[in-house]
Structure 1
Amino acid sequence: MMNWVKFIAAFLLALSLIITVIVFYNANGPFADARQKAESDALKSGALTSVDRTDIYNGTVSMVTVFGKDGEGNEKAVFIEGKTGEILDEVEMKDGIGAQAAIETVKAELSVEKILHVALGLEDGHPVWEVAFKGDNGKLNYVYVFFENGEWWKRILNL
């Protein structure tokens, strides 16, 4: 009788593990598809000749930001609308601040316990860095910093 209990417990554990893996794999599918499509669109349009990384940005418009190099070897970020694949804008990385500089701008003024993510996106026609972090009080915060000059655009604090 004890062998049956062990078998059933092991079976249920294995089944729950398999279901969990399948759910997480399927949940990541749309993000992976959006990234792949955006990378393909950026390369096909000629905006980039190589891709380094891709971020998904969900602001007023959902978009995918593709980072890479153009034909002249300049590092660029291309903003691609999530649903249509239309290129909204593109910026050369040398023309603005980097992700680490955006983080330092936030840390200089606010108490940051843990950085959750930093993403480059487009808001009101301007590229901005979205810095999401947990403050010392454990609450979620979003700060938007202009890409061009590192000045604050918007803050959403203590969620």
Structure 2
Amino acid sequence: MKKWIALIIVLLIIVGWTSIDTYRSANQYRTQQGEEAIQIAKEKEPDLEVNNISFYNGNQSYAILYGEVDGESQIHCVPTNGKGEIIVVDPTKGISADEAVQLLTEERNPLSIKSVNLGIEQDVPIWEIIYLDQKNRYSYYYVTFKDGEFIKRYTL
């Protein structure tokens, strides 16, 4: 009986250690991507002060850097694979995340909003809204950042 208890404890330690190591590796990779994106953006715009970073994974992956240049808000979308141009978005030249959600709500009547992310598709800034639909399915809704024009939606 003591052997079984010892075996179970050893297995739990191994599973816990593996889980923590996997989480740490994934988090370290994201941190590294963010740091590289900041370096690339600062080469183009040395005065950029980054306040927040998010990531978008569509046809191409981007690090989305929210920050300021000379007191003006700017968003720098940096391709994480190093291919393509940095896209600079002026937050005052498009709809807000709340306005994008309002457009979705008027058209689809979601049960709940899971996330709203800025992204880039074919060099066009977009809002990606992930939500639960009326049948409790995860759904994705995409509108343009510039004016909220509907692009596409799909459900899992």
Contact 2:41 2:86 in 1 (8 A): no
2:63 alignment partner in structure 1: 64
1:15 alignment partner in structure 2: 14
1:100 alignment partner in structure 2: 98
1:110 alignment partner in structure 2: 108
Contact 1:112 1:135 in 2 (8 A): yes
The Cα RMSD (Å) is 2.0
Structure 1 counterpart of 2:36, one-letter code? K
Output one character per residue of 1:56-114: Cα deviation in whole Å (capped at 9) or x when no partner.
1122222221110012x111111111111654321111111222221222122113223
3-state secondary structure, aligned to 1:112: coil
2:36 alignment partner in structure 1: 37
Percentage identity across paired residues of the two chains: 24
- For 2:47 and 2:116, locate their aligned partners in 1 and report how far apart those are by CA, in whole Å: 22
Contact 1:50 1:69 in 2 (8 A): yes
- For 2:83 and 2:51, locate their aligned partners in 1 and report how far apart those are by CA, in whole Å: 18
The aligned length equals 156
- For 2:33 and 2:83, locate their aligned partners in 1 and report how far apart those are by CA, in whole Å: 9
TM (norm. structure 1) is 0.85
Structure 2 counterpart of 1:121, one-letter code? G
TM (norm. structure 2) is 0.87
3-state secondary structure, aligned to 1:150: coil
Matches within 5 A, 1:1-159: 2-46=1-45, 49-71=48-70, 73-84=71-82, 87-156=85-154, 158-159=155-156
Instruction: Give the CA deviation at 1:50.
Output: 0.8
Show structure 1 runs of 5+ residues with no match.
none
The more displaced of 73-82 and 35-44 is: 35-44
3-state secondary structure, aligned to 2:86: strand
Alpha-carbon spacing, 1:48–1:98, altered in 2? closer, same or farther (3 Å) = farther
